[in-house]
Structures are given as C-alpha cells and as structure tokens.
Chains A and B, each alone.
Chain A
Amino acid sequence: MLKYIITRLLIFIPTLVAISLLTFIISINTPGDPVDSMLNQSSNTGQSSDKLASEQAYIEQRAKLGLDKPLFYFSITNATYSDTLYRVHKKSHRETLEKLSFKYGDWPQIANYYSLIKKFENQLFLLNVSDDLAEDYRKLKEFTNSLYTTADEKTATTIISNIDFIVNGDKEFIPVRPNFTALQKAIISIVQNQSPHQHYIPKFIWYGFDNQYHNWISDFIVGDFGISYKDKRPVSSVLWDALQWTVLLSTLSIILAYLVAIPLGIKTAVDKGSKTEKSITATLFMLYSLPNFWIATLLIIFLCGGDYLDLFPPAFSLGKLPESAPFWDRFFDTTHRLVLPVFCLTYASFAFISRQMRGGMLNVIEQDFIRTARAKGLKENTVIWKHALRNSLIPIITLFANVFPLAISGSFVIEFIFSIPGVGKLTLEALTARNYPIVYTVLMFTAILTLIGNLVADLLYAFVDPRISFSSGKK
C-alpha cells in the first residue's frame, strides 16, 4: 500500500511539469498584451504627454514583469529565426521582424535594417523644419513609422520611394539624408541577399536559465507565486484572502450536498417505484434544471429587503461585525449571511449525487449477499445501512475525487452575485486582465488538488471494497 502511494506521488512530478508547461504555453499564446492592459487599465482619459514617454513606460513595465526575457530554455526552429528577437519591446514590431526574417532568411541584416529605421526616425524627431514644410515633415514621420509594421516588399518599396521624394525635395532635410541612404541600402541588400533556403535548416537555440518559464516555476516551487499585476500585491496574499471565503462556502456546500443527497439516494433506491420516490425524483430534477444565477438573483430580489421580504441580510456585507465582537455573534451573523449563497451553490448537486447513490444502491440490493442478509432475518435498516451502503459507495467516491479542486476553485457566478471576494471571481478577473501570476497559481493548485483527489479516491475504493487492493499484483 505504502509503495503504491509513493509511486503515485512520484508520478505527480512529471504530470505537474506537463500541466505547468501547458498552462504556460496557453497563457503566453492568448491574444492581448498584459503590459498594455496593465498600463491602460483605466487611463482612458486620452491624455498622456508624448509618444516617447509612453513608450518608455511600456518598456519599463515590460522589464519589471520580466516579459523581456526569452520564454523557455530553448527553441527548435529554422535557421532564419533570431535568438535575440525577444529583446524588441513592441509586440507589433516583433511580429513584423519575425515575418521579415522568415521571408528573407538573414537575421543580422534585418536587425540592422530595424536599427536604421530607429536611427532615422529619432533623427527626424530632432529636426527643426520651417512651417511651409510642415506637411512634408508630417508625412515623412508617418511614412517612416509605417515601416515598422511593413513586412511586404512592395509596400516597403513604395514607402521608401515616397520618403526618398520628400527627403531629396528640400535642403532642410539634408541632415537626415545620410541615414536615409543607409536605410535604402539596407533594404536593397536584404532583398538581394535573401536566402530563403534557410527555412529548411533546423536550428536549436539555447537561451539558458534566465527565461520566463524557469523564473516562474523555480519561484513557484519555493513558494513565491509572484506579484499580482493588478494590485501589485503578492499572489499568496491575494489568494489567501480569497481562499478563506471560497473554502468556507465550498466546504459548507459539499458537506450539505452529501448529507442530504446520500440519504435521499438510498431512500429512492429502496422505495423504487413508490409515490414518494417519484415525487422526490421529480423535485430534485426540477431543482437541477434551474440555473443557479437566476435563482440567486431572484432570491436577492425577493428575500433580501428590497421591495419584498426582508428575511436575509444581503450577503455582501460578510464579516460586518468587527473582530472584537463576541465569537458567537460573529458566527451567527456570518451563518445568516451565508444561507443563500450556500443554498444556491448546493441545490443542483442534490439531484446528481442522489442519482449516483441510487444507481449504486440498486445494483447492490439486487445481489445475493443482500438476499442472504435478509434471509438471516436482519432488520431492513441494518441490511441497507450496514451491508448495502458500503458496497454501493464506489460511484460516490468517484465523485468525491472532485471535491478537493472544487473546494478551492469556487464559483464565479455565485461569488459575483453575492459579492463574495472568492477564488472564482478572482480567477475570472485575472484571466480577462491577463493577470498571469494569479492564473498560473490557481491553475497549478487546482491541478495539484485534482491529483490528490484522485489518489484519495483510489485509496478509498480499497477501503470500502476489500476486493480492490493495490498491494501486489491482482488479488
């Protein structure tokens, strides 16, 4: 048995690594730029100083988040791919450069071209031109800027010839001409020396240990989950706040679900075909089919002291009483406020769990040993609760494996409607805001708990059914 547990625990390690990789790859590839969504979270006032400043802010923020580092230890790609591309700050520029280097196959030249555009643009911004050239000057800046996002030879040539026309049109532009000539030459040389065959040469790039994945996973292992992008708090602290409510809610809901559903399942199995059984089943299925967000909203409208009944305080002021209030007062206050959310979380699972229980029970009570037990003259209650129950628990245990991840992942809908700051709400908000540190951590913990849940379920199988054993070979 012990050996089995140890083996299972060892299998956890590769599984978790695989999950972490998957999580990482998926989040990195989701569209949207976390730096941007962070900087522009609410500053839609449309008032910012000038271009250079905001770009500076972007670069700083990106470096602070460690997003300017390579993604992974290595990459296997073709020979056109650059090993330093990740250092380019702007996502749109990166994309253009990637396309260019793929098309023309020579990264050093592309890099040179990129730095020449930058040099030319910077020089342009420093230029002082007279008012009658303002139109040309503006166009010049615009054309130059559009080079950053042009990966197509034809368009680039048109742009270059447009710039050429303006730059050579007036002597005020003389200072920028040398740089422009260099830029022109760079383009010609890129096109002339293109080496598309490079696509077919595989290339292996080793980035070393200072990469995003390594930094994240090594911090994760030692318990440093990073800093939440949104409020810049440590993820552990944010998560701890949220977990308290979610675990409380989920635990109450799970306990309640099993306490009610198991007896109901047994009852409906034993009284199969009776009127009671039918009405219980009908009620449970009706509950099952009512969406909980709708019920939750209705309950709030009708029971929480709006225009109608005032039976329950609104759940949103959880923990309203100060810490100094007597424990029992706080206990009852919190319980009172939790009634509705717990109910909404729970009622749908009554039907599900009790159906599973009923199925398991029906299987068992038709078996020979139950008949034997009855024939021995045992009381019906003893037969059901002592002999049949234990053997019919297998499907329930399978369900029970999900309890662990469920207990921490929370329910977004219920948490949102009742304003409970739990993990479900936190995760969904983090997902939409590209708040990766929170997303990673929640997903990893959910994964770990799922694995643990499965292990516990397997062990419980052996416990309730002696025919199942993990000791050695088959028994």
Chain B
Amino acid sequence: MKSIKLKTQKQLSILGLAIALTACGGGEGKKDNGNNANNVNPNIVLHELSDADMLNPYNYQDAGAGYILPNVFQSLLNIDFKTLELVPVLAESLPELEPNDKGGLNITYKIRKEATWDDGTPITAKDVEFSLKVMKNPKVDNARLKPYYEFILDMKFYDDDPKKFTFICDKVYILAEASSGDFSILPKSTYDPKGLMDEFTIVQLNTEADKLKDNPKITEFADWFNSENFQREKEYIKGSGAYTLKEWVTGQRITLVRKEKWWGDNVTENKNDYLVANLPQITYQTINDQTAALVALKGEQIDVMRSVKPKDFSELLKNDKFLAKYNATTPPFMAYNYLGINTRLPKFSDKRTRQAFAHLVDVDKLIKILQYGYGQRVTGPIHPSKKKQYNPNIKPFDYNPERAKELLAEVGWKDSDGDGTLDMVLNGKKTDLTIKFTVNAGNDIRKQTALFFQEDCRKVGIKVDVVPEDWSIYIENQKNHKFEMFYGGWVAAPTPNDHKQIFHTESYNGGSNYTGFGNTETDALIDSIRVSLDEDKRAEFNYKLQEIMHDNCHYIFLYAPTERIAIHNRFGNAETSAMRPGYWEAAFTTGSATTK
C-alpha cells in the first residue's frame, strides 16, 4: 500500500508537469460542440471531486452531500445566497425571539400557508416536532449534528394555528436563531409510517436519553432510519424541496429531477431564491482527478466546476475559447489559512518571538506565487466580508526580517556558540531556536509555504525542519499539543462566529485550541460574543478580540483563499457568493425557461 501512496504523490507532481505541457501546447482549435441558440440544454451537470456519502439529511458527514441536500429537503430558514442574511424558507418570515423565564429564548415560527408535502397534505408544526424528535433519538447515527440541537428543550403548539409553534431554548446564544431554523423538516408519512416515535416527547428525549437507548421502539426506528434505504434509495429520500432523487450511480453521479407540482411555485410573498427551481434536471458528476475534470470542462461535458486549481484557473482566463463558453468568477471563500504556534513551549512563550516569526512570513508573496493571486490577506479569524464584525484597523505584520531580528534580540536570542543558530538559556538549559514545522502530507501549497518560511528563517539564524505528516497523525498531534508549528486552515459559515471551540481556554483539552491561546480576558470576550445578539455590541467585543489575537500572535494569520468557479454561460441568474459551494444551481435560468 505504501508504494501506491508513493505513486500518488509522484503522480501529483507529474500531473503538474502534464498541465505545464498542455500550457505550452496552446489552445489549437479543434471542434465545435456548437450549442444551438434556439435549443438550449436546460439540464445542468456539476462537477464534484468525490461522491457524496449519503442523502440522509441528519446522518451525512461530508460537505458534498450538504450541497446537494437543500434541493431535496428544506429547513425553516436558510442563508440568503446574495446577502448572506437569514431568510425564511419553510417559515413564513424570520422567527420572533423573546427571552423566557428560564434565562433562555423563545423562538416562534409560523410555517408558510402554501407549504405542503408531495401528496398535498400541509406541512405543520407537528412535522417540525417529528423532525426534532428524530434528531434527538439517541440511537440515530447523527452524533455530529445532535449536540447542536440540545439547546431546544421543548416545543409549544397553538390550538388556533397548526402552522405556528415556539421552540423553548435553554440559553441566549448568537447561533440559536440560525440553528433553530437550519435542520431539514422530514415528512412523517415516509420516515415513520408505523408511528414509532409518536409516544415520545421532546422533553423525554432530552432528559431520559440514556434510559430510552434500550427502548425497543427507539431502536427499531433508529435502525429503520439509519438503513441504507434512507441513504440512497429514491423511493425513500423524500422532502419538501423542488427536486427528487432520480438516479444514483455510486461513485459516478447523482441525478435529481424537478417535481412537476411543487408548493414553492405558489409562493408569492417573501419569496427568495430557495423557493425557485428553474432547472428540470441537476446532475452531480464525480470526477476524482482535477486534470480529467478540467478536460471535461473544456469539452463542455460539465457545466459548473468549483475550486479549480489556482494555476489552471489563471490559464483558463487566458483561453479565449473557454471564455466564450464559460463565466469565470472568484467569489470570496469563508475560510482562512494560518500558521499555528505552540505557545506553551518555553521557547515560543514570549509573544515577541512569535511576532518575529510573523515578520518572516511574506504573505503577499505566498498569495502571488502559490495562489496566483487568488487570496485575500486576513488579520484575524473573522472573514473580511463580514464587514460589521471584521476589525479593519489592524495592520498585518509586514515582511520585515530586520524587525524580526530586533524582536528576537529583545527577547534575548543570540548566537552565543557561533553555530549559526540563535540560542538562549531557558529554565537553566541552553536552547537553540529551532522550529519543527508540520504540514499534512500531500498538500503541496502548505509544503511550499513551509519551505519559503524555512529559507527566510535561515537568514536570521532560525533552523526550521519541515515535517509532512499523515492527516490523522497531524490532527492527533495538534489535539495533544505535540507540535511546534503547523500550517492549518479553518472553514467558517456565513453565520456569526463563535470562537469558543477554537480559542477558549476550555477548549485546550478536548477542543480545538491547539496553540494554547487565551487568558481570562479573552475567555470573557468569547463568552460575551456568544450571548450578544446585538450586532453592534458584538462587533465591539470582536474588534477587541481580534486586536488581542493579532498582538498575541499564537496564529500567524495568512490569507483567506478566493474561490474559483466556472459556470457555463448558457445559464442566467448564476451569480456566485461566499455561501458554500458558491452558487445555488436550482435558481439558475436558461434562455427559454422562465421563473414560474
């Protein structure tokens, strides 16, 4: 197996060579797949690098499935594609939030009057209750999602309006509104025809989960719900969305078709893109190999490709034949890359040492050379497109080896033994300033970043060892704080940032605070951010937190990558945005098709 792995790594470099060869070959004309203007193909084919794991909206794990599911299942709310604000989907409008006597929130929703299942029965509060019960069933295989809904303690119903209900939540939390509206609502008739979950209440599922684990009905339902049928069989995967599963050829493609009669067509008020479905058929085509996918794109075999490699994308932009057929866009990508430093190691414990490292990273060069310019410099964990929360006053560390030298000298690092590496006495022991820089094996951009850094450090007398590690070992070492410096990245959602998982000291053991950042002040800020529903107030805390992080320099923030998407130009209304995956295919239009 080892040899296979070696081969793939080699393969990557050879792929690069092959791409370079193509580039030299230039774009000689060869064929005309002429699309007749009168006869526009309305069916769309989207590229995916790997097959989705399943289409069970509660149990899925991978991002690919998450992009397909909103076409089939709907939730109460979603994030608007263009404005990145919450918008109502199944709900009639955004919910009403009010504090309750338990110190938490009451979140009241009303479902749209037009909303029905495929058989014409209206979607009511009872369907929401059923879905929440499924979510909280202790045996359902959704360990990943379940904790996010623990904050909903109970539901309140209204006799006069079956479409109205209230979630009673335990605490005030910035993500409560978004979370309360973002789980898929399931039709009970398909998912629980035997009524196995009927006898349980939400309160019971919250408080007696351990006891209920052995309940035969809970188990029977969970086995039924976790089964392969609800993962990939079209007879079982049913939601209120505009599309249903037509075909799934494992490892090849997933095809969805538009329902002939869909409730969203009747909606007139408060309509948004999630209530529009223009395309008759959507196919998600798996092509594992980037080069093969690029060939398919040029040959018009696929209509949408995202995350094109920066180098390929910059070449596509020079290819006139390609530009005549495709729109190439670069929306922001809510993610950032950083170098994490283990602040609890004595040699890195002084923040000036870490700042010196930051002055040795030429971020602009990294963006230009490694990303071909597809990146945006960041100074903190909040993406610059979240304008209200992003602190624009922070000046990033400039590339300045001289300043780095000064800082290191200030701390006391000097080459006392003349071996070319800085050293100093720490806890009575002479310590060399060396850095073990870990990257996940196979990620070329990260490795090259490390090599640039290594070179710049060498010049000021810091010795850097670049160590590629297998992904799971790399992650495990971070969790156990067995690292000196690593290259990492976080992906965020367009919802408000909750920093607890990554930056709170409580997350040092068991969470993702790998670097050991934080003190009482930052913990207090993070806790306040979590409960500040008021945006201006939250911004104040976020500004302060970003300043501290920048100064503390436990992370050297590098850049937020820019997404690179190609969409065939026969589709209209195909803007791209920071909302993953970057486009909302169902709302695309084709020349002849009109929005109903």
Contacts and interface: CB of A to CB of B under 8 A. Distances in A.
Contacts of A92: 479-480
A376 interface: no
A172 interface: no
B250 A49 contact: no
Given A42-B63, A54-B510, A135-B520, A304 B492 contact: no
B289 A416 contact: yes
B297 to A, nearest CB: 8
Interface in B281-319: 285-289, 291-292, 294-296, 298-299, 301
Nearest to B298: A306
Interface of A: 31-33, 36-51, 53-58, 60-61, 64, 90, 92, 134-135, 138, 141-142, 145-146, 148-149, 230-234, 237, 241-242, 245, 291, 293-294, 297-298, 300-301, 304-310, 314, 316-319, 322, 412-413, 416-421, 424-425, 427-428, 431-432, 434
Given A304-B296, A416-B288, 8 more contacts: A54-B510, A57-B147, A92-B480, A232-B141, A237-B228, A316-B252, A417-B289, A427-B1
A314 B471 CA distance: 31
Given A45-B491, A231-B53, A301 B295 contact: yes
Interface stretch (B8-16, B323-331, B563-571): B8-16
B25 interface: yes
Contacts of A135: 519-520
B18 interface: yes
Contact of A57 (B21, B61, B146): B146
Contacts of A297: 14-15, 18, 289, 291-292
B555 interface: no
Nearest to B60: A231
B207 interface: no
A370 to B, nearest CB: 40
Given A39-B144, A135-B520, A307-B27, A294 B291 contact: no
B223 to A, nearest CB: 12
A310 B298 CA distance: 11
Interface of B: 1, 4-5, 7-8, 10-11, 14-15, 17-18, 21-22, 25, 27-28, 30-31, 51, 53-54, 59, 61-63, 66, 138, 141, 143-144, 146-148, 150-151, 175, 226, 228, 231-232, 247, 249-253, 285-289, 291-292, 294-296, 298-299, 301, 321, 470-473, 475-476, 479-480, 489-493, 495, 498, 500-502, 505-512, 519-520, 523-524
Nearest to A431: B1
A36 B295 contact: no
A44 B144 contact: no
A237 to B, nearest CB: 6
Given A232-B59, A232-B141, A310-B299, A49 B506 contact: no
A51 B472 CA distance: 21
15 contacts: A45-B492, A49-B150, A51-B511, A141-B506, A297-B15, A297-B291, A301-B18, A304-B292, A307-B27, A316-B292, A316-B296, A318-B252, A419-B287, A428-B5, A432-B472
Contacts of A304: 292, 295-296, 299
Given A33-B476, A148-B509, A307-B28, A46 B501 contact: yes
Given A31-B476, A47-B493, A416-B289, A314 B61 contact: no
Contacts of A424: 4
Contacts of A431: 1
Contacts of A322: 247
Contacts of A56: 147
Given A142-B505, A421-B51, A60 B143 contact: yes
A54 B506 CA distance: 13
Contact of B492 (A40, A46, A300, A425): A46
| The 8 residue pairs across chains A and B that have the minimum distance between CB atoms | A421-B251, A32-B472, A53-B147, A306-B295, A305-B299, A57-B143, A231-B53, A135-B520
B25 to A, nearest CB: 7
B551 to A, nearest CB: 19
